[in-house]
Amino acid sequence: MESYDYAFKFILVGESGVGKTSLIERYINKYFICISDVTIGVEYKYKIINIDNKKIRIEIWDTAGQERFRSITRSYYRDAISAFLIYDITQRMSFIRIPRWIGTLNQNAPNNLLFKVLIGNKIDNDYMRQVSKKEGKKMANLYNIPFYEVSAKSDNKIADIFTDIAKLIKREYDKGNIIQGTKGFKVS
């Protein structure tokens, strides 16, 4: 197993079919899955990246979006340092439900260190857009979180999101604002 200096647990949440698994596959394996099986429970992958000459292991947990699996997936939120809230720009309901996902994260990941990111996926289908970029930015501003629009299909900015958030977390860690323990992170 490759050694690393930091390990950051990221979770991806959102409704079923928004492209969480496709985003992960694009980031980790650099390919696109047009049709993927529904995630049951959670799936786990990781990637080691270099930031400031340090190896960072990004552990990515892909959670099921279906209601019937939510009680299973909630237990995986606890030790996460970052949550990617993903919606499909062509499915308005997936966007409307983002506040509910934020509430679930706040209840089940009680550490307030959770670095949240709002991501609108499937911009390659812009002609079917039901959620404007302006609406995405407005919601991100409401929750004071970063906002991105991406396409898992065309690999638009996906690696940048993971790198940007890992840099932010590392910077806070190096400042002593967060402490990594065996059970996740806490305020120092």
Query: Which residues of the chain form beta strands (DSSP E)?
Result: 6-13, 42-51, 54-63, 82-88, 115-121, 147-149, 178-181, 184-187
Q: Is residue 146 part of a domain?
A: yes
121: DSSP letter: E
Query: What pLDDT is recorded for position 77?
Result: 74
Query: What pLDDT is recorded for position 30?
Result: 82
Query: What pLDDT is recorded for position 181?
Result: 53
Query: What pLDDT is recorded for position 140?
Result: 98
Tell me the pLDDT tens digit for each residue of 98-114.
999 999 888 877 665 67
Question: Which residues fall within 8 angstroms of residue 10, CB to CB, at 6 or more apart?
Answer: 58, 59, 60, 61, 80, 81, 82, 83, 84, 162, 165
Could you give the angle at which helices 133-143 and 98-108 cross, rounded to 10 degrees? 30
* Mean pLDDT per 10-residue interval, the chain, length 188 residues: 88 89 88 56 82 94 56 63 95 97 83 84 96 99 97 87 94 83 47
Residue range of the domain that includes 132: 6-187
The pTM score is 0.87
Query: What pLDDT is recorded for position 106?
Result: 86
Q: Is residue 1 part of a domain?
A: no
Tell me the pLDDT tens digit for each residue of 14-23.
998 899 888 9
Number of domains in the chain: 1
Distance between CA atoms of residues 97 and 77, nearest Å: 18
Domain of 43, CATH number, reads 3.40.50.300
